[in-house]
Amino acid sequence: MTVRHFLKDTSITALEQAEILQLALEIKRNRFAYQPLTGPKGVAVMTDKPTLRTQVSFCVGVAELGGYPMMVDGKLAGVGQRESIADTARVLGRQTAAIVWRTFGQDRLEEMAAYAGVPVINALTDDFHPCQVLADLLTVAEARGGIDGLPGAKLAYFGDGGNNMAQSYLLGGALAGLNVVIATPAEFQPKPHILAEAQAVAATTGGSVEVTDQPQAAARGANVIATDTWVSMGMEEDAAARQNPFIPFRVDSQLMSLAAPDAIFIHCLPAYRGKEMTAEVIDGPASRVWDEAENRLHAQKALIIWLLAQAQSSAVAPSAAAPARSVGMAAAPEAGSPVGSAGAAMVPDAAPTASSANTAGTADGAAQRGSGPASNGEATG
């Protein structure tokens, strides 16, 4: 069984990203159409950092997919201290269908994925916030008439260019074919290897990436204006020193006036009015912040469905003589369906029966967990 993870924005291809976003649009129209976690199967939702939207969206989403969201306090469990990450992964992987982790170092998440044997989802690390960017892309797509409106759109981000949101905008935006501009002070640049990866991705999708210290130039003609807090979690002691460099990058009505007439404003939250943006912007007509927050739910549900479908399609390969249907799987979707393109995995049935294939709980699935690092065929950076 091949297990796919979502450890950063480029854990998936451009085509796969589009499939997930299209599925999210369908799920938003019909929230209870898919029930791949009926049982209920458990999904571990583990957090080492403060959380509101991550906890709410994943817990509600797993429940709406028919599953049981099992909240795990990472600090209480002592993951990486009281118990090794590898051992924690082995325990969780044998009892859950997937693991969602909001943590610090990206290396922690990658170690979890190496030993879990079930899909591992990055709910935020110091380097990346890919689930948030999926939700943001969904929000932009809704504002631009669908996912076909993503390629060629200009997204300008203002703030800390080295934080997880900026770096995920570079990767996820480039993957979607966006023209991404990161406006940030010279001393707050993205990590060079992440910028280089984004440039390489953009070269294959028709998008572009740019980093500048000129906020007005970045805003000019933008279709999407994005920002984030100037003080990321774990940097609270440096809050005072981090204020002045970012003041010229505050999103206010003057900056918004430079954007396209129909530009939208997004912010991953929590927001601090009067700092990274003014109240008139976040509470104004261009703001899509509350749609964006809700879209965490729909984008993450689509992601979970898609990841589970990958595992099922690799574990249950239909024969050439009877290709139409596998146990617990829908027939291969037609072109234009939510997960319907060459090589795409099938989506689990909306209402699986008790006999449905459950690769997270079968002997085959268990055999892949609990011994050594998994080989899932994907580069994790």
Domain ranges for the chain: 9-128+294-367, 131-288
Fold topology of 131-288: Rossmann fold (3.40.50)
Average pLDDT over residues 200-209: 98
pLDDT at 131 over 60: yes
- CA 202, CA 204: separation in Å to the nearest integer? 5
Average pLDDT over residues 362-377: 43
pLDDT top residue among 325 and 236: 236
For the segment 148-175, what is each residue's pLDDT rounded down to a tens digit?
A: 999 999 999 999 999 999 999 999 999 9
Least confident of 23-32, 188-197, 225-234: 225-234
Structure confidence at residue 1 (pLDDT):
75
pLDDT at 266 over 90: yes
Structure confidence at residue 18 (pLDDT):
98
Structure confidence at residue 378 (pLDDT):
38
- Beta-carbon count within 10 A of 238 CB: 12
- CA 115, CA 88: separation in Å to the nearest integer? 9
Q: Which residues contact 323 (CB under 8 A, 6 or more apart)?
A: 332
Positions annotated as catalytic residues are 102, 129, 132, 228, 268, 296
Confidence category of residue 345, pLDDT binned at 50, 70, 90: very low
- CA 362, CA 40: separation in Å to the nearest integer? 15
Structure confidence at residue 185 (pLDDT):
97
Report the chain's mean pLDDT, rounded to a whole number. 86
Residue 156: HSE in the Cβ half-sphere, 13 Å Cα cutoff: 27
Structure confidence at residue 370 (pLDDT):
47
Average pLDDT over residues 3-23: 98
* Amino acid at residue number 114: A
Confidence category of residue 241, pLDDT binned at 50, 70, 90: confident
- CA 96, CA 119: separation in Å to the nearest integer? 10
For the segment 51-82, what is each residue's pLDDT rounded down to a tens digit?
A: 999 999 999 999 999 999 999 988 888 888 88
pLDDT at 373 over 90: no
Do 9-128+294-367 and 131-288 share a fold?
A: yes
For the segment 287-329, what is each residue's pLDDT rounded down to a tens digit?
A: 999 999 999 999 999 999 999 999 888 765 544 433 332 223 3
Percent residues over pLDDT 90 in the chain = 75
Confidence category of residue 235, pLDDT binned at 50, 70, 90: low
Fold topology of 9-128+294-367: Rossmann fold (3.40.50)
Structure confidence at residue 224 (pLDDT):
99
